[in-house]
C-alpha cells in the first residue's frame, strides 16, 4: 500500500464489505471532517442484492459500477481504497488509475468496522442532539404558554428567568424582576412564607408542594407552588418554581363549603321537622319496605321504630291490597293520595288517615324511595260524627219538647181526676162493697204511679232539651251524695240492696251545680239498683267511693249486677239507647248524665264485666268553667 501524502479530496471505493454501507453514509455526512469527497464506488462482487450500489446512488456518488475499468472516467483521485486482498483485483485497479495515485488495499475490514461504529455513534449523537433541541424548544414553548407562573432562581433566591404568565400575574415588567428577590415584589412581608418554602427545597434537594397567600397588586391571592431543585455537578445551583393562582378555586371552595353548611343545616332542620312531626311520615324503598318511621308514627300507631323498619308498609293497613294499589299508582304517576285509609295500631285499633304518596327518583329516572305522608283524621271524623249526633239531638230535642208539653197537659187532667176519685172514695167508700173499695184503691194507686212515671219522663225530656241550671254554688260532695241516697231510700230498701260508703274525709268544698249533680248521682244509683235486681240469688251490693286526684274529685259508683254487654258499652251514652227491658228504661238517663257533666267540666267513664259488675267513674274539677260549656262532645268510654 502506498504511503504518499494525500493531497486530493476525491475518493474511490473498490470491492465490498459488510460495513461498507454505513461507511458510505458516514463519509457522505462528514466530508469536511475526512477532507475526502467520494466520487466512485466499484463493487465487482459481494453485493448480490445491489444494496451498496443503491445506497451509493442515493448519496449522489458520480461513478457507481461493477466494472473496475469505469475508474478511468472519474475525476483525478486523491485516494483509492480496495476492500479486498484479491491480487488480481488490486492489479486491475492499479492498471486503471494514474501512476502515483495513493491506494489502500488488503485488510481494511477493521478500519471499516471502527468507522462504522463511529458512524453509528455519530448518528445516535446527532439524533439525541436533535431530540434535545426539540425538547428544549418545547420546554421553552411550555414555559411561555403554560397557564402557570414559572420562574428560575439562583441559590440566593434571586430571579434569573420568569415567564410571561408570571409577569402578568404579578403585574410587573421583566426588567424589574430579574436579579431581584421576593422582598422587592411582595409587600408587607408577603415574601417570607414563599422564601421559607424555597429554602426548604434548597436544603432538602427534594420537590416541595405548598399552598399560601401572597399580596399581589393590592390584593391577596391564594397560590399553590411546586418547587424543583436545580442540581449541577452535584451542587444545588437554584430552583424552578411553578405557581398557580388558586384564588377563584379557593373562593369557590369557600362558597361550596358555605353551601354545604347551609345544606347540612337545612337537612338537619328538615330531619328534625319530619322526625318530630305529629303526622305519620314513612319512607319506603321501591318494593314498599319501610326505611324510616318517625316519632309521629310511633305515637299514632304504637310501634317502635325497630319493630317495623324493613317490613312491608302494607302490614300496617287494615286493607293491604288497597295500599298496594295506591303504592303502584305512586310508582307509575309519581304521586298518589287517598282521603281515608284505615291503619291499625299495635293494639289493632283503627287509625283513619289522609294519605299522600310521593315518588323520589334518581337523576337517571330510577325510583329510589317513596315518601308516605299520613295525617291522622280519626279525631276529625269523630268530631264530624259528634256534629251529626248534636244535630240529631237538636232535632230530637225539639220533637221531645213538643211531645213533653203535649203529654203534660193530659197528665195533669188525669192526675186531677184521680185525686177527685180518691176524695169520692174517701167520702162515699163506705157504700161500696169491701172488695170493690179495695180494687178501686189499688187502681188509684197504680194510676198515680203511672202518672208520676210519665211526668218524670217528660220532666227528663224537658231537662235534656232546656239544660236547666240551678246555679253554681259552693257545695259539699259528701252531703250531696247522702241526700241522693235518702231520696232513693225506699227503692234501695225495697230491693234489699246494701250500700257501702267509702267517702274520703279530705274532700274540699268546691263550686258546682248541686241540682244538676243530684240528677247525675240519683240516675247512676238508680241504674245500679236496677242492675243488681236483675241477678236474683246474689247478695246485692252497691259501693260508692270518693277521692281527690290533684285538682279533681272522683266519684265511683260500682255494683255487682248484670253488667253491660261489650257491644252496648260504646252506645250507652247515646240518646234513647237502653239495655233495660221494655217499659223499664227510656234511654234518657245516661245521655243526660253525660251532658250535665260535660257542661260542668267533668267526665264520666264506664267499665264493666258482663254478668259480673259495672263501674261508673265521675270526675269533677275543683275549679269549674266560668260558664257551662254550650254543647257536649264525644263521651269518654
> Residues 424-481: pLDDT tens digits?
777 776 777 777 777 877 887 888 777 776 766 666 556 545 544 456 888 899 999 9
Residues 300, 345 contacting (CB under 8 angstroms): yes
Q: Any idea which residue has 332542620 for its cell?
A: 269
In angstroms, the CA 3 to CA 1 distance is 6
**Measuring CA to CA, how many Å separate 317 from each of 292, 311, 343, 463, 621?**
17, 12, 4, 45, 39
Residues 375, 439 contacting (CB under 8 angstroms): no
Q: How many CB atoms lie within 10 A of CB 310?
A: 10
pLDDT given for residue 89 in this prediction: 83
pLDDT given for residue 108 in this prediction: 55
106-110 long-range contacts, Cβ below 8 Å, gap at least 24?
106/1, 106/82, 108/17, 108/81, 108/82, 108/83, 109/17, 109/19, 109/83
**pLDDT bucket at 267, cuts 50 / 70 / 90:** low
Q: Any idea which residue has 300507631 for its cell?
A: 301
Query: 450: which residues sit within 8 A by CB, 6+ positions away?
Result: none
Using alpha carbons only, give the angle 163, 164, 170 rounded to the nearest 5 degrees.
95
3-class secondary-structure state, position 101:
coil
The structural domains of the chain, ordered by start, are 10-123 (3.40.50.720), 146-245 (3.30.450.20), 277-376 (3.30.450.20), 382-445 (no CATH), 467-621 (3.30.565.10)
Q: Any idea which residue has 259488675 for its cell?
A: 613
Q: For 110-120, what is the mean pLDDT?
A: 60
Name which residue leads in pLDDT, 123 or 507: 507
In angstroms, the CA 608 to CA 330 distance is 46
Is 70 exceeded by the pLDDT of residue 262? yes
Exposure letters 65-78 (e unless 16+ CB within 10 A, then b)? beebeebeebeebb
Is 80 exceeded by the pLDDT of residue 598? yes
Name which residue leads in pLDDT, 556 or 583: 556
77-91, 138-152, 224-238, 240-254, range with the lowest pLDDT: 138-152
Is 50 exceeded by the pLDDT of residue 503? yes
Q: For 251-274, what is the mean pLDDT?
A: 79
**Measuring CA to CA, how many Å separate 491 from each of 168, 495, 527, 564?**
113, 6, 11, 21
> DSSP per residue over 486-543, as a string?
HHTHHHHHHTT-EEEEE--TTPPPEEE-HHHHHHHHHHHHHHHHHHHHTSTTS--EEE
In angstroms, the CA 241 to CA 230 distance is 10
Pairing of strands 613-621, 552-559: antiparallel
Distance from the first to the final alpha carbon of the chain:
139
Name which residue leads in pLDDT, 337 or 394: 337
Q: For 6-22, what is the mean pLDDT?
A: 70
* φ, ψ (nearest 5 deg) of residue 158: -100, 140
In angstroms, the CA 483 to CA 477 distance is 10
Name which residue leads in pLDDT, 460 or 153: 153
**pLDDT bucket at 31, cuts 50 / 70 / 90:** low
360-374, 382-396, 517-531, range with the lowest pLDDT: 382-396
Residues of the chain with pLDDT > 90: what percent?
A: 13
Q: For 553-580, what is the mean pLDDT?
A: 74
pLDDT given for residue 324 in this prediction: 92
Q: For 523-538, what is the mean pLDDT?
A: 87
Residues 565, 580 contacting (CB under 8 angstroms): no
**Measuring CA to CA, how many Å separate 176 from each of 160, 169, 490?**
12, 14, 124
Residues 14, 42 contacting (CB under 8 angstroms): yes
Q: For 511-518, what is the mean pLDDT?
A: 86
C-alpha cell at 39: 466520487
In the DSSP assignment, the letter for residue 66 is S
pLDDT given for residue 466 in this prediction: 52
pLDDT given for residue 213 in this prediction: 87
Question: Could you give the strand order of the β-sheet that contains 367-376, starting from the edge strand earlier in sequence?
Answer: 290-293, 280-284, 367-376, 350-361, 335-344
Is 80 exceeded by the pLDDT of residue 406? no
Amino acid at each position: 500500500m502506498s504511503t504518499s501524502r494525500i493531497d486530493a479530496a476525491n475518493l474511490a471505493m473498490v470491492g465490498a464489505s459488510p460495513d461498507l454501507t454505513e461507511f458510505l453514509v458516514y463519509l457522505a455526512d462528514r466530508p469536511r471532517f475526512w477532507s475526502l469527497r467520494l466520487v466512485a464506488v466499484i463493487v465487482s462482487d459481494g453485493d448480490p442484492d445491489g444494496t451498496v450500489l443503491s445506497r451509493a446512488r442515493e448519496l449522489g456518488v458520480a461513478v457507481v459500477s461493477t466494472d473496475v475499468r469505469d475508474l478511468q472516467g472519474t475525476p483525478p483521485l486523491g485516494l483509492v481504497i480496495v476492500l479486498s486482498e484479491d491480487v488480481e483485483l488490486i492489479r486491475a485497479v492499479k492498471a486503471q488509475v494514474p501512476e502515483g495515485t495513493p491506494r489502500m488495499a488488503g485488510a481494511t475490514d477493521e478500519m471499516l468496522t471502527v468507522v462504522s461504529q463511529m458512524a453509528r455513534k455519530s448518528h445516535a449523537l446527532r439524533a439525541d442532539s436533535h431530540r434535545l433541541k426539540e425538547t428544549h424548544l418545547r420546554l421553552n414553548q411550555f414555559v411561555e404558554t403554560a397557564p402557570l407562573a414559572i420562574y428560575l432562581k439562583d441559590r440566593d433566591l434571586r430571579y434569573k428567568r420568569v415567564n410571561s404568565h408570571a409577569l402578568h400575574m404579578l403585574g410587573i415588567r421583566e426588567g424589574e424582576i430579574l436579579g431581584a428577590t421576593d422582598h422587592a415584589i411582595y409587600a408587607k412581608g408577603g415574601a417570607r412564607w414563599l422564601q421559607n418554602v424555597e429554602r426548604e427545597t434548597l436544603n432538602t434537594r427534594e420537590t416541595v408542594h405548598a399552598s399560601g397567600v401572597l399580596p399581589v397588586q393590592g390584593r391577596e391571592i391564594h397560590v399553590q407552588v411546586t418547587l424543583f431543585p436545580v442540581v449541577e455537578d452535584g451542587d444545588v445551583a437554584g430552583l424552578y418554581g411553578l405557581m398557580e393562582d388558586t384564588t377563584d378555586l379557593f373562593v369557590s371552595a369557600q362558597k361550596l363549603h358555605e353551601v354545604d353548611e347551609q345544606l347540612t343545616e337545612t337537612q338537619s332542620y328538615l330531619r328534625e321537622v319530619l322526625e318530630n312531626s305529629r303526622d305519620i311520615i314513612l319512607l319506603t324503598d321501591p318494593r314498599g319496605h319501610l326505611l324510616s318511621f318517625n316519632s309521629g308514627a310511633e305515637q299514632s300507631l304504637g310501634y317502635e321504630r325497630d319493630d317495623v323498619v324493613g317490613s312491608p308498609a302494607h302490614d300496617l293497613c287494615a286493607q293491604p291490597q288497597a295500599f298496594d294499589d295506591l303504592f303502584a299508582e305512586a310508582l307509575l304517576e309519581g304521586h298518589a293520595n287517598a282521603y281515608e285509609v284505615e291503619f291499625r295500631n299495635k293494639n289493632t285499633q283503627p287509625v283513619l288517615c289522609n294519605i299522600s304518596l310521593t315518588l323520589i327518583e334518581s337523576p337517571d329516572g330510577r325510583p329510589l324511595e317513596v315518601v308516605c305522608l299520613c295525617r291522622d283524621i280519626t279525631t276529625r271524623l269523630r268530631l264530624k260524627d259528634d256534629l251529626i249526633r248534636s244535630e240529631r239531638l237538636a232535632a230530637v230535642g225539639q220533637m221531645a219538647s213538643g211531645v213533653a208539653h203535649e203529654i203534660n197537659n193530659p197528665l195533669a187532667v188525669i192526675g186531677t181526676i184521680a185525686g177527685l176519685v180518691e176524695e169520692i172514695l174517701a167520702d162515699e167508700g163506705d157504700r161500696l162493697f169491701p172488695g170493690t173499695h179495695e180494687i178501686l184503691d189499688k187502681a188509684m194507686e197504680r194510676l198515680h204511679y203511672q202518672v208520676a212515671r210519665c211526668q218524670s219522663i217528660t220532666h227528663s225530656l224537658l231537662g235534656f232539651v232546656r239544660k236547666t241550671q240551678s246555679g253554681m254554688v259552693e257545695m259539699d260532695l259528701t252531703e250531696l251524695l247522702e241526700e241522693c241516697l235518702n231520696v232513693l231510700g225506699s227503692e234501695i230498701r225495697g230491693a234489699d240492696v246494701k250500700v257501702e260508703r267509702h267517702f274520703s274525709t279530705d274532700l274540699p268544698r268546691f263550686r258546682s251545680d248541686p241540682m244538676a249533680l243530684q240528677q247525675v248521682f240519683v240516675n247512676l244509683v238508680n241504674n245500679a239498683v236496677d242492675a243488681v235486681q236483675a241477678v236474683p240469688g246474689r247478695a246485692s251490693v252497691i259501693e260508692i267511693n270518693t277521692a281527690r286526684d290533684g285538682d279533681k274529685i272522683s266519684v265511683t259508683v260500682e255494683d255487682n249486677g248484670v253488667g253491660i254487654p261489650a257491644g252496648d258499652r260504646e252506645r250507652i251514652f247515646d240518646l234513647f239507647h237502653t239495655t233495660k227491658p221494655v217499659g223499664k228504661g227510656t234511654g234518657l238517663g245516661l245521655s243526660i248524665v253525660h251532658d250535665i257533666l260535660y257542661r260542668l267540666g267533668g267526665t264520666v267513664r264506664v267499665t264493666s264485666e258482663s254478668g259480673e259488675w259495672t263501674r261508673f267513674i265521675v270526675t269533677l274539677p275543683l275549679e269549674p268553667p266560668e260558664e257551662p260549656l254550650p254543647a257536649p262532645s264525644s263521651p269518654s268510654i
